[in-house]
Amino acid sequence: VVFLTNAGNCLRSAKAQELSQALGLQVSPEQVILSHSPLRLFSQFHQKCMLVAGQGPVEENALNLGFKHVVTIEALRKAYPLLDMVDQSRRPKELPPPTTGFPTIEGVILFGEPVRWETSLQLIIDVLLSNGNPGAELKDIPYPHLPILACNMDLLWMAEAKMPSRFGHGTFLLCLENIYKKVTGRELKYEALIGKPSTVTYRYAEYLIKQQAEKQGWKSPIRRLYAVGDNPMSDIYGANLYNNYLKSAQQNQVQVKRSPEAASPQAEDHLELRKDCNNSVESCESILVCTGVYRHNVDVPSKMEECTTETVFHGHRDFCFDPSLVEASYIVQDVNDAVQLAFQKENWS
């Protein structure tokens, strides 16, 4: 079992402890996949100077993932106080001295939605337009821009508010993409999009599950995965997309390309998973529960398409909308029912 979440504003150990307390059993950090966890395999960026945005322990998370040189939005703001000008109360009262010795930024990691959106949007755009040197004046806007690694594409998420959903990191990305395009006339490009429903995140989940099986002495290969979630546009879409990937792999047609259905730029050659994951897994069954984002007030319908197909596409722009991908293999009331269903399908008493 792995616990796959698009949350990224905490440490993996903290999320494992939270799950352990909630479930009344011991969950190890190795069983937790945060939105940014697969970044530990993007070693080609680990030696570069990376700007990190989000909230929570973003710097510590980056270092734990293997990145050696990290600059936070707040550190960038302090180094270049003239950049952050939306909030009049934070504008410098006097002209600061020129900034010297600040490192050139070589890439951007977007861990999750920040607290002050206007500051992060402004400074990230500044870094992209200046090729990592916000104090410089460039004659031409650099394009392609610096590599961007983005975690968590959820437009909305379920909270305690009576209004149905709250803004997620996908909403922040939407703002960033549109500002960049409005300013430059060009599309913002991602080096990687990870977190659900990214194929690479489910691939990483398979990798960790197989590691667990080996540690527990399992001899027989794992053939089926069961993905349980409450969000059709992330949990179910991602599980179904990965199921399609597994089917293609069985037919020896795996060629991950920079296309929407292949989850855009998160190509397999970025990862060390190819040699670590054999192709024993044949399918990934998606199970939709009704205790979160997705709810219905009647009994489980017999026709899934009546309740899962959305008229408005809430997914990221780099993922094509295929109505079949948001149709769950099964719909049950809650996680307990989902586990019982998996036991039944596997003939486990």
Number of H helices, E strands in the chain: 10, 12
Is 159:231 a contact under the CB 8 Å cutoff? Answer: no
Which residue has better confidence, 162 or 131? Answer: 131
User: Model confidence over 71-96: pLDDT tens digits?
Assistant: 999 999 999 999 999 999 999 988 88
What proportion of the chain, given as a percentage, has pLDDT over 70? 87
Which residue has better confidence, 64 or 296? Answer: 64
Distance CA 138, CA 132 (A): 11
User: What domains lie within the chain, and their CATH numbers?
Assistant: 3-92+100-193 (3.40.50.1000), 220-257+273-346 (no CATH)
Distance CA 74, CA 72 (A): 5
Is 52:64 a contact under the CB 8 Å cutoff? Answer: no
- Of 139-153, 189-203, 272-286, 311-325, the poorest mean pLDDT is in 272-286
Token digits of residue 180:
């960049």
Phi first, then psi: give them for residue 331, nearest 5 degrees. Answer: -125, 125
User: What is the pLDDT confidence band of residue 274, given thresholds at 50, 70 and 90?
Assistant: low
pTM (2 d.p.): 0.84
The confidence score (pLDDT) of residue 311 equals: 62
The confidence score (pLDDT) of residue 26 equals: 96
User: Model confidence over 112-150: pLDDT tens digits?
Assistant: 999 999 999 999 999 999 999 998 888 899 999 999 999
344 CB-contact burial (10 Å; exposed 0-12 / middle 13-18 / buried 19+): exposed
pLDDT > 80? residue 275 = no
pLDDT > 90? residue 158 = no
Residue 234: CB atoms within 10 A of its CB come to 30
In the 8-state DSSP scheme, what is residue 221?
P
Is 220:284 a contact under the CB 8 Å cutoff? Answer: no
The confidence score (pLDDT) of residue 293 equals: 74
Nearest-CA neighbor of 9 among 52, 57, 51? Answer: 57
